[in-house]
A and B are shown apart, each in its own frame.
Chain A
Amino acid sequence: MGPTSAPHGTPCLRIGGAVRAPRALAMAELRALPQHACDVVFSCRRAGARHHRFAGPLLLDVVGEADPVFAGGDRKARLRFLLSLRADDGHRAVLSWGEIDPEFGAVPVLVALSRDGRPLDVEGPTLAVPGDRCGARSLTALRELTLRPDA
């Protein structure tokens, strides 16, 4: 499936797995969440350093909309969970929950809705991971998030 336009009312990002309320969020719903910005530098082998500013909701808040269930209950139980992410073009990446949790790794990973001030309405949301060296986890047209325990 190729890139598709994501009009305001069209669900574009599915959230499932270990959640109480699986959701499909449209761009407008993602835009209504608290918005953040982050600067990312991609050190590309061929093109050199590329600087971008991404803006959108925190991945943490996006997953929070589906009400995650962390079996085990205590704070450290969250460290056993991971997020499996899939883009429209088939690219996949996995993040550990501990990376994005402010009580642990505290990396403000964004589900970016704009890049350098340009809305990503046509492409769909992009995963923006500050600190990634070459942007390999910057999945374009993010379509699916699944929260899973480690085993």
Chain B
Amino acid sequence: MRDLRCVAPDGALLAHLHRHPDGTLTLVPEQGPPLTIRQPSPGAPILVHRADELLGTVTPEDPTFTTRTFTARLGSTAWTVTANAFATRYRVTTPDDALVATATHPVLSSTLTLTTSEPPTLLLAALTATRAHRPAPTAYTPS
């Protein structure tokens, strides 16, 4: 599986994201210890650990055809992460809808560019956790 480079708009490397064969992700920041991101079972909240410490969860909401939304509670932060259907564009907002960060991951690129004024590591964990998500094993249910 291909790794993903996470960079700032000026090209500075922020982190590497490594995908393991079991779907677990390891986020290796340029500064600080690595984080492990995994979903214990399809549809369940995604867990973010630093070593053995659980930092928080990223919970999938019901997706639409065009948008996937997740609620991230990491440390003292609560964010809403929205990704388009192809995971090429992301937005992170606070509960009162203030924009915290955006990110782009162009088609077929191995680079994700994060734009934010906040410390990036937890934001990247929240964003990239969406890539560990496996949908719940359910049949079609009319809405």
Spell out A's residues near B (CB within 8 Å): 28-29, 31-39, 51-53, 55, 58, 60, 64-65, 68, 101-103, 106, 108, 114, 116-118, 130
Chain A residues closer than 8 Å to B140, beta-carbon distance: 39, 51-53, 116
B12 within 8 A of A: no
- Which residues of A sit under 8 angstroms from B132, Cβ to Cβ? 34
Tell me whether A58 and B21 are in contact (CB under 8 A): no
Say yes or no: A101 contacts B23, CB within 8 Å: no
Mark out the residues of chain B between 124 and 143 whose CB falls within 8 Å of any chain A CB in the assembled complex.
130-140, 142
- Tell me the count of chain B residues lying within 8 A, CB to CB, of chain A: 30
* Most central of A29, A53, A101, A130 by chain B CB within 10 Å: A53
A-B pairs, top 6 by smallest CB distance, nearest first, are: A117-B137, A116-B139, A37-B135, A102-B86, A51-B140, A35-B134
Check B84 for interface membership: any CB of A closer than 8 A: yes
CB distance from A88 to the nearest CB of B (A): 24
The one of A34, A53, A102, A116 that contacts B84, using a Cβ cutoff of 8 Å: A102
Known: A35-B135, A65-B2, A102-B107. 10 other contacts (CB 8 A): A28-B21, A32-B1, A32-B19, A34-B87, A34-B131, A35-B42, A55-B135, A60-B108, A116-B140, A117-B139
